[in-house]
Amino acid sequence: MTSLPGWTREGSPYHPGEMAMQARAGARERAEKAGRRIIRDFMPDQHRELFAQLPFLLVGALDAGRRPWASIVVGQPGFISSPDPRTLAVKARPGAGDPLGPHLVAGAPVGLLGIQLETRRRNRMNGTISAAGEQGFVVEVGQSFGNCAQYIQAREPELVRAPDVAPAPPALPEGPALSAGAAARIRRADTFFIATAAPAARGGDAIEGADVSHRGGKPGFVRVTEEDGHTVLTSPDFTGNSMFNTFGNLAMNPRAGVLFVDFASGGVLSLTGEAEVLWDGPELSAFAGAQRLLRFHVAEGVWREGALPLRWSAPVPAPQLAATGSWEDVERR
């Protein structure tokens, strides 16, 4: 079999923020070699086929104030298609009340994550919306690459109603200090998704774009605290692929959006705010398996009860989590 070409441009597939984070972690040379091999400006057939099998897609993009939000769109498998290796067409849009709904327009930078939870397969694609309408949007590929299966809880999805007849649940606003209900949902979570963007994301550069990625851990791996009247979420960052796409964006632009899905009820909690990375300190050293900590300061958000026409089975924990700790362990030390 002939191997596919990787990154063919002369310059690095990474922007300065990503390179700085890789260097700080002692992974710069390794990440550059891997990036030139697996990051492409087109989608391999394997990736195109996976997207076509999915009943949902994670989307990261910016609102009118350039704040990132993470979103999820749903459809019958086949609602995502790839007419050619440099194009992905999505026949769905965010549901009513989703903060990204009005902002997925032509010219907008987007990060896409196709993740098949039941098999723990995931592929990333970052690009620019080339066309958009009431039925969906089309994305021109900027960068495409696969991610490893680590820290993904395996869940089987099931459509419980037709996606195109989904009701419009009330969108309940959340402020900087989260409600008790929102805080409780986060404390139970074993998964969330985070959207970030480089400062030049709207310039059409394939390297400095928007991004959305997966984070997983034991239930309760996100700690919820209150500081000066607003909520702060703290989560461990475990050993990964050393690409530092999310943290590289945060190094240049601290704005971020996080998304928590209630896999049992189909509810969605969307938040936007600012994030920072902690590289040392007693909290980090006390959390088994953590390489760094991610702290997210909530600005605002929205909870949409039963917004998704999907439900998922009980999770099968990722095997890597056996070697990781919990916030309870940290607090006991």
Q: What is the pLDDT of residues 253-264, one digit of tens each?
A: 999 999 999 999
pLDDT level of residue 187 (50, 70, 90 thresholds): very high
d(CA 262, CA 236): 20
When mean pLDDT is compared across 76-90, 195-209, 211-225, the lowest value belongs to 195-209
* CATH class label, 16-160+169-332: mainly beta
Residue 194 has pLDDT above 50, yes or no: yes
d(CA 57, CA 75): 9
pLDDT level of residue 74 (50, 70, 90 thresholds): very high
The pLDDT value given to residue 2: 59
| Helix (H), strand (E), coil (C) string for the chain | CCCCCCCCCCCCCCCHHHHHHHHHCCCHHHHHHHHHHHCECCCCHHHHHHHHHCCEEEEEEECCCCCEEEEEEECCCCCEEEEECCEEEECCCCCCCCCCHHHCCCCCEEEEEEEECCCCEEEEEEEEEEEEECCEEEEEEEEEEEECCCCCCECCEEECCCHHHCCCCCEEEECCCCCHHHHHHHHHCCEEEEEEECCCHHHCCCCCCEEEEEEECCCCCCEEEEECCEEEEEEEECCCCCCCHHHHHHHHCCEEEEEEECCCCCCEEEEEEEEEEECCCHHHHHCCCCCEEEEEEEEEEEEECCCCCEEECCCECCHHHHHCCCHHHHHHC
Alpha-carbon 92 to chain mean position: 18
Residues whose CB falls within 8 Å of the CB of residue 106, separated by 6 or more in sequence, listed in order: 129, 130, 131, 132
Q: What is the mean pLDDT of residues 34-47?
A: 97
pLDDT level of residue 1 (50, 70, 90 thresholds): very low
Domain boundaries, the chain: 16-160+169-332
| Other CB atoms within 10 A of residue 158 CB | 11
pLDDT level of residue 166 (50, 70, 90 thresholds): low
- Residue % of the chain over a pLDDT of 90: 91
Q: What is the mean pLDDT of residues 285-294?
A: 95
d(CA 232, CA 30): 33
pTM across the whole model: 0.97
